């Protein structure tokens, strides 16, 4: 049984890509930094804002004639200054708006690579780095105790019920994990391959729902435990994976399927070093329309990549046809495709056939 309380696991020895994924240290945005897509730009700026201690909002975006976003601007959440004449008792003006000019702008090139084009880091108000750690939790006083009391009651009713709470230095709730006895028993039978995806939903506390999913003998999804997370950095995932592994009697899965999140990858390498890690094919292929929305032969490119992925019978066949495809559409310098090819052993089916995946290639 896990003891409820503060369980803090540091990811010693794990090296992050500080250019794009600086979860544990503050990296200042700089003009010229490159990203795969607009979401990575936003995530990067949010992480920076989280360390400095200010809220962020997406201010503007512009699309090209194909309807693809090519420009975005993010600002400090205290940017707007409302005219006092518009304030009424029924519609009071927002508190704390200072007209702050801090902002970041970025745009994409013809290859779909995003680059920071403008940065203004100075704020005209005080930031709160000491409070940034708990700002997004939004939990009231006593919430952690209430959750602990509820889970303790569940545990008394079902001895196989497992839970753990991760608290910050002020005793406020950061992360939660729980699994009932059914989840733990299911893992004994169907735990060879799991999927882990944090893109489902958040709740009113802005905590990310993080389920561990397996597949049973009927081919149906089965829950193997779940958590609520206050952030999605390496340290948080390491904590969650270690607690889940403890819950499952330290039996690691043979394979894990996730999206391309670097923080997840770092945590998997630290906690499950002997498990095979596969990227969700659905997450990758759904990006194709966005990546090639500008291209005059978009439909043909999408069709060619799908055929390569699903029809290649050998690794040599895939590699030869891949380079032929790049030549045909003049995509030899596409950074996104170059990155995917380098990591082809993580997502292309013909490179993964020698391992057992329980019929799964996606987290969906």
* Environment class of 266 (CB within 10 Å of its CB; exposed 0-12, middle 13-18, buried 19+): buried
93: pLDDT strictly greater than 50? no
18: pLDDT strictly greater than 50? no
Averaged over 128-143, what is the pLDDT?
52
Averaged over 81-98, what is the pLDDT?
44
Sheet holding 34-35, edge to edge: 34-35, 114-120, 103-108, 69-76, 56-63
pLDDT (tens digit, 9 = 90+) per residue, 183-198? Answer: 999 999 998 999 998 8
Highest mean pLDDT among 92-101, 104-113, 199-208: 104-113
More confident site: 143 or 174: 174
pLDDT (tens digit, 9 = 90+) per residue, 345-354? Answer: 999 999 998 8
117: pLDDT strictly greater than 90? yes
Q: Closest Cα to residue 9, out of 275, 179, 242?
A: 242
Report the share of the chain in percent with pLDDT over 90: 40
129: pLDDT strictly greater than 60? no
- The model's confidence at residue 9, banded by pLDDT at 50, 70 and 90, is very low
- The model's confidence at residue 104, banded by pLDDT at 50, 70 and 90, is very high
More confident site: 144 or 84: 144
Mean residue pLDDT across the chain: 80
134: pLDDT strictly greater than 70? no
The answer to whether 115 and 34 have CB atoms below 8 angstroms apart is yes
- Identify the sign of the CA torsion 278, 195, 244, 4: positive
Q: pTM of this prediction? A: 0.61
pLDDT (tens digit, 9 = 90+) per residue, 232-264? Answer: 889 999 999 999 999 999 999 999 999 888 899
Q: What is the pLDDT of residue 46?
A: 83
- The model's confidence at residue 53, banded by pLDDT at 50, 70 and 90, is confident
70: pLDDT strictly greater than 50? yes
Averaged over 81-85, what is the pLDDT?
44
Going by their DSSP bridges, the two strands 193-196 and 255-258 should be labelled as: parallel
Q: What is the pLDDT of residue 168?
A: 75
pLDDT (tens digit, 9 = 90+) per residue, 259-308? Answer: 888 899 999 999 999 999 999 998 898 888 888 877 778 888 899 999 99
* CA-angle at 37, arms to 34 and 42, nearest 5°: 85
Residue-range domain boundaries for the chain: 34-120, 143-279, 286-351
Averaged over 75-103, what is the pLDDT?
59
82: pLDDT strictly greater than 90? no
> How many other C-beta atoms are found inside a 10 Å radius of the C-beta of residue 233?
21
More confident site: 210 or 206: 210
312: pLDDT strictly greater than 60? yes
Q: What is the pLDDT of residue 356?
A: 86
Rounded to whole angstroms, the Cα distance separating 75 from 87 reads 23
Residues in the chain: 364
Q: What is the pLDDT of residue 86?
A: 40
Rounded to whole angstroms, the Cα distance separating 140 from 144 reads 9
Q: What is the pLDDT of residue 132?
A: 42
Q: What is the pLDDT of residue 358?
A: 81
């Amino acid at each position: 049984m896990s003891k409820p309380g503060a369980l803090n696991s540091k990811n010693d020895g794990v090296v992050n890509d500080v250019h794009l994924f600086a979860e544990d240290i503050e990296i200042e945005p700089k003009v010229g930094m490159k990203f795969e897509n607009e979401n990575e730009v936003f995530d990067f700026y949010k992480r920076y804002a989280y360390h400095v201690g200010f809220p962020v909002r997406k201010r503007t975006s512009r699309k090209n004639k194909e309807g693809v976003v090519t420009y975005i601007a993010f600002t400090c959440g205290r940017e707007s200054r409302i005219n006092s004449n518009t304030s009424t008792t029924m519609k009071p003006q927002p508190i704390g708006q200072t007209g702050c000019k801090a902002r970041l702008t970025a745009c994409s090139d013809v290859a779909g690579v995003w680059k920071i084009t403008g940065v203004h880091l100075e704020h005209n108000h005080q930031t709160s780095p000491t409070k940034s750690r708990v700002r997004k939790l939004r939990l009231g006083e006593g919430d952690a105790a209430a959750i602990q009391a509820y889970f303790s009651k569940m545990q008394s009713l079902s001895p196989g019920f497992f839970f753990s709470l991760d608290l910050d230095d002020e005793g406020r709730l950061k992360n939660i994990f729980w699994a009932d006895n059914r989840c733990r028993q299911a893992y004994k039978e169907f735990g060879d391959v799991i999927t882990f995806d944090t893109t489902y939903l958040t709740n009113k506390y802005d905590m990310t729902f993080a389920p561990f999913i397996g597949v049973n003998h009927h081919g149906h999804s089965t829950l193997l435990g779940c958590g609520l997370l206050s952030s999605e950095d390496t340290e948080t995932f390491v904590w969650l994976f270690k607690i889940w592994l403890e819950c499952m009697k330290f039996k690691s899965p043979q394979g894990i399927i996730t999206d391309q999140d670097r923080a997840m990858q770092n945590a998997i390498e630290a906690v499950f070093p002997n498990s095979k890690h596969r990227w969700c094919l659905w997450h990758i292929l759904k990006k194709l329309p966005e990546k090639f929305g500008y291209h005059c032969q978009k439909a043909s490119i999408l069709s060619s990549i799908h055929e390569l992925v699903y029809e290649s019978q050998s690794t040599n066949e895939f590699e030869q046809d891949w380079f032929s495809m790049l030549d045909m559409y003049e995509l030899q310098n596409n950074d996104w495709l170059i990155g995917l090819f380098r990591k082809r052993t993580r997502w292309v089916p013909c490179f993964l056939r020698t391992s057992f995946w329980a019929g799964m290639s996606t987290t969906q």
